[in-house]
C-alpha cells in the first residue's frame, strides 16, 4: 500500500547539466573540470532532500511527455517521491545548464517553458482526493518555488485550498525572487532566501543575513531564513532572531545547496526540533552537499 504523502512541493523539476571547475573562470575561458547530469529543479531538489530525511513528499511539477520526461519521472520515483500529482505537459521537458567555478555559480540558462505554463489547475490533487478535498483539506507543509509564473504565484497566494497550510517559499534565483512579494503580509508563510535573493526581493543590498532578515520582517514577512554561502545564516520572526555560522568545507559544487538546506530544515521542524537545532542541522546538510563531488557524466 502506498504511503500517504506528508509534505507537498510545487515548482520546478527538470534535468540539470552542470559544469564545475576548481579554477576561477573569466569570459571566454576554456578550463578543465567535471560535467555531470542529474535530475534537478528547486521543488524536486527540496522533495528529494525531504525523502532522504525519511519523509514521503508529493511533487506538483510540469514534465514533458517526451523521452526526457519519462526518464525524469522514473528518477523522481526512484528518489521516493510521490508522482501521482505530476502534470504531463505537451511541451518539451525543461532543462537547466549551469557553470560553476571556485567562487560559485558563474552563469546558468534555464529552459522552463513547461514550468511557466503551469496554471492553478495544478492544485487539483488538493481537491480531488489524491492529497485532499473540501471535506478533508490538506494541512501538511507546502513548498512553493518562485520559478512558476507570476500569475500562478498570485493565484497560489490566495488559493482556498492552501488556507491554513504551512507555506514554505523559496526563490528559484535572484531574478525571480521579487515574484514572492505577493506573499508578504500573509500569515503562515516562511521565506527561504539567499542573501542575493533577499536583496532582490527588497530591492536593496544587504551586508549579511541578519540585516536582510530584519528588513524582510519589516516588509511583512511572517518568518524568514536567509543564507549566505559560507557565511552566517539567520532564522527570524517576530519572536526571535537566530544567527549561526555554517561549517567550513571545500566547495566542490554549489547548485542545489539552498534546496538541501530547505529540505533538511523542514524535515527537522516536522520532527519537532527546536529552531536553533533545526537551523544547525540544515547548515550541516548544505555543507555536506557542497563538499561532496558529484559523479561526472
Q: Tens of pLDDT along the chain (297 residues)? A: 357 899 999 999 999 999 999 889 999 999 999 998 999 999 999 999 999 999 999 999 999 999 999 999 999 999 999 999 999 999 999 999 999 998 888 999 999 999 999 999 999 999 999 999 888 999 899 999 999 999 999 999 999 999 889 999 999 899 999 999 999 999 999 999 999 999 999 999 999 999 999 999 999 999 999 999 999 999 999 999 999 999 999 888 888 899 999 999 999 999 999 999 999 999 999 999 988 877 654
Q: What is the CA radius of gyration of the chain?
A: 18
Helices (H), 98-208: 113-116, 150-157, 174-177, 195-202
3-state secondary structure of 108: strand
Q: How far apart are CA 63 and CA 70, in angstroms?
A: 8
Contact 118, 155 (CB under 8 A): no
Helices (H), the chain: 42-52, 67-78, 113-116, 150-157, 174-177, 195-202, 209-218, 257-270, 275-290
Q: How far apart are CA 73 and CA 83, in angstroms?
A: 7
3-state secondary structure of 40: strand
Burial class from Cβ neighbours inside 10 Å (0-12, 13-18, 19+) for residue 295 reads exposed
What's the pTM value of the predicted model, to 2 decimals?
A: 0.93
Distance of CA 1 to the CA centre of its chain: 29
Q: How far apart are CA 43 and CA 40, in angstroms?
A: 8
Residue located via cell numbers 478535498: 133
Burial class from Cβ neighbours inside 10 Å (0-12, 13-18, 19+) for residue 262 reads buried
Q: How far apart are CA 136 and CA 18, in angstroms?
A: 42
Residue located via cell numbers 525543461: 94
Q: At what angle do helices 257-270 and 275-290 cross, to 10 degrees?
A: 150
Amino acid at each position: 500500500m502506498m504511503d500517504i504523502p506528508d509534505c507537498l512541493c510545487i515548482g520546478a523539476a527538470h534535468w540539470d547539466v552542470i559544469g564545475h571547475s576548481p579554477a576561477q573562470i573569466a569570459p571566454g575561458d576554456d578550463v578543465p573540470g567535471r560535467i555531470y547530469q542529474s535530475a534537478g529543479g528547486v521543488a524536486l531538489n527540496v522533495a528529494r532532500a525531504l525523502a532522504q530525511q525519511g519523509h514521503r513528499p508529493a511533487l506538483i511539477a510540469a514534465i514533458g511527455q517526451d523521452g526526457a520526461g519519462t526518464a525524469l519521472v522514473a528518477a523522481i520515483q526512484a528518489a521516493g517521491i510521490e508522482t501521482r500529482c505530476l502534470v504531463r505537459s505537451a511541451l518539451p521537458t525543461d532543462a537547466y545548464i549551469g557553470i560553476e567555478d571556485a567562487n560559485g555559480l558563474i552563469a546558468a540558462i534555464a529552459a522552463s517553458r513547461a514550468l511557466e505554463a503551469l496554471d492553478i489547475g495544478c492544485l487539483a490533487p488538493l481537491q480531488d482526493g489524491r492529497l485532499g478535498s473540501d471535506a478533508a483539506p490538506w494541512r501538511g507543509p507546502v513548498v512553493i518555488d518562485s520559478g512558476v509564473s507570476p500569475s500562478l504565484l498570485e493565484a497560489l497566494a490566495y488559493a482556498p485550498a492552501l488556507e491554513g497550510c504551512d507555506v514554505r517559499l523559496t526563490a528559484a534565483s535572484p531574478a525571480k525572487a521579487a515574484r514572492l512579494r505577493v506573499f508578504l503580509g500573509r500569515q503562515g508563510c516562511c521565506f527561504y532566501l539567499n542573501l542575493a535573493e533577499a536583496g532582490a526581493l527588497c530591492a536593496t543590498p544587504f551586508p549579511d543575513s541578519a540585516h536582510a532578515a530584519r528588513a524582510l520582517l519589516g516588509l511583512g514577512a511572517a518568518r524568514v531564513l536567509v543564507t549566505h554561502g559560507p557565511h552566517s545564516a539567520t532564522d527570524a520572526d517576530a519572536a526571535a532572531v537566530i544567527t549561526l555560522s555554517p561549517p567550513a568545507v571545500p566547495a566542490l559544487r554549489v547548485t542545489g545547496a539552498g534546496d538541501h538546506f530547505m529540505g533538511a530544515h523542514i524535515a527537522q521542524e516536522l520532527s519537532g526540533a527546536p529552531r536553533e537545532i533545526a537551523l544547525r542541522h540544515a547548515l550541516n546538510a548544505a555543507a555536506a552537499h557542497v563538499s561532496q563531488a558529484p559523479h561526472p557524466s
